[in-house]
A = this chain, B = another copy of it.
Amino acid sequence: MSEAPIQHGGGISAAAARHGGRPEEWLDLSTGINPCPVRLPPVDAAAWHRLPDQSRLSKARLAAATYYRSGNCLPLPVPGTQAVIQLLPRIVPPGRRAAVVSPTYGEYGRVLRNAGLAVDAIDSLEGVRDEHALVVVVNPNNPDGRLYPSEELLRLWRSLSEAGGTLVVDEAFADIEPSATLAPLAGAGKGLVVFRSFGKFFGLAGLRLGYVLGEEALLADIAEWLGPWAVSGPALTISAGLMTGDCEPIRQAIRERKAALDAVLQAAGLRIAGGTPLFSLVEHEQAQNLQEWLCSRHVLVRAFDYDRRWLRFGLAPDAAADMRLAEALASFGSDP
């Protein structure tokens, strides 16, 4: 029996079916996606029509190498980070264990356990033991925003790789403040893999695109496991266009939206327990009631079954949405 699917954010249709309203009228704060999608660069007709060929792929990989500052490592495009999480069990040698620094994005543990692997949820890097052949760290972490400095991760990488193990660092939320990124080192040797999300920062989650950085042999294996033409032509072309453009306005817009969100949360008297530039984590004794209340106002935020006091708030798209959230929060109970 495999574990049941995780209830992720983004389930607006389901929420609307339960609480009323048309999905497009809801304010979806349940994901960590840039709510101000960038303008799409032009997509040539051939991107839709033809199988994505080598030159389209190469352009995307070169653009990603520049964007991630990964030097000789040409990041491998994959149809969303999830697609490569599904493949992670393959890099754990038989009989060895995996460790996931937790709590974090639930798909790591679920996919590894469903593949029959022994997985330890460890609460810090100190929990890594010799028997762990795979260690997963989301950095900064989702949902609490915990950030490991790169020196600590490099130390862990060194000790893991000496024992033939692999460190996976998921940097899905590292685009805005990339100070701790290991992307520039990921091609430098065995045993370090970095996952990057394209859709979160650029506000294009529907495109299904991520990049994997690591030593060439592992990237070749992943490419082989995914098979030819794993990523769509439009995704490759849009990504190449945006990654070579000026990303500073996108960063700036996200920072402004994040400041506005935190101002609303604080004005409502909520305690911000963590976060990244793309979301804030609120700790609240009545988190479940608050989530229900927000749903009744057609505002969706993300709850977590492993910590009933937590709610994750994504960024609202504009000042009107900030106001709507502020009003919904202000009217929550008399004893919030």
Task: List residues of chain A with CB under 8 Å of any chain B CB.
Answer: 2, 5-6, 8-14, 23-24, 28, 31, 33, 37, 40, 45-56, 79-80, 82-83, 85-86, 107, 111, 114, 203-208, 224-235
Q: Are A51 and B205 in contact (CB under 8 A)?
A: yes
Q: Are B227 and A53 in contact (CB under 8 A)?
A: no
Q: Which residues of B contact A86 (CB under 8 A)?
A: 225-227
Q: Closest CB-CB distance, A314 to chain B, in whole Å?
A: 11
Q: Are B53 and A37 in contact (CB under 8 A)?
A: no
Please tell me which one of the listed residues B6, B14, B49 contacts residue A203 in the complex, with CB atoms under 8 A apart.
B49
Closest B residue to A47 by beta carbon equals B206
A6 CA to B79 CA, complexed, in Å: 21
Q: Which residues of B contact A235 (CB under 8 A)?
A: 232
Q: Which residues of B contact A48 (CB under 8 A)?
A: 37, 40, 204, 206-207
Q: Which residues of B contact A208 (CB under 8 A)?
A: 52, 79, 229-233
A205 CA to B49 CA, complexed, in Å: 5
Q: Which residues of B contact A47 (CB under 8 A)?
A: 206
Q: Which residues of B contact A56 (CB under 8 A)?
A: 13
Top 3 nearest A-B pairs by Cβ distance?
A206-B233, A13-B55, A10-B51
Closest B residue to A238 by beta carbon equals B48
Q: Are B206 and A52 in contact (CB under 8 A)?
A: yes
A13 CA to B114 CA, complexed, in Å: 40
A2 CA to B223 CA, complexed, in Å: 13
Copies in the complex: 2
Q: Which residues of B contact A227 (CB under 8 A)?
A: 80, 82-83, 85-86, 107, 111
Q: Which residues of B contact A5 (CB under 8 A)?
A: 224, 228
A31 CA to B233 CA, complexed, in Å: 16
Q: Closest CB-CB distance, A81 to chain B, in whole Å?
A: 9
> What would be 10 A-B contacts, judged by CB atoms less than 8 Å apart?
A5-B224, A12-B50, A31-B50, A47-B206, A49-B203, A86-B226, A107-B228, A206-B233, A206-B234, A208-B233
Q: Closest CB-CB distance, A26 to chain B, in whole Å?
A: 11
* Besides A52-B208, A79-B232, A232-B235, 13 new A-B residue pairs in contact (Cβ under 8 A), listed by A number: A5-B228, A14-B53, A28-B50, A31-B51, A33-B49, A37-B45, A37-B48, A40-B48, A48-B206, A80-B227, A85-B227, A207-B234, A208-B229
Q: Which residues of B contact A226 (CB under 8 A)?
A: 83, 86
Q: Which residues of B contact A45 (CB under 8 A)?
A: 37
Q: Are A8 and B228 in contact (CB under 8 A)?
A: yes
A48 CA to B234 CA, complexed, in Å: 11
Q: Closest CB-CB distance, A204 to chain B, in whole Å?
A: 5
Q: Which residues of B contact A40 (CB under 8 A)?
A: 48
Q: Are A46 and B8 in contact (CB under 8 A)?
A: no
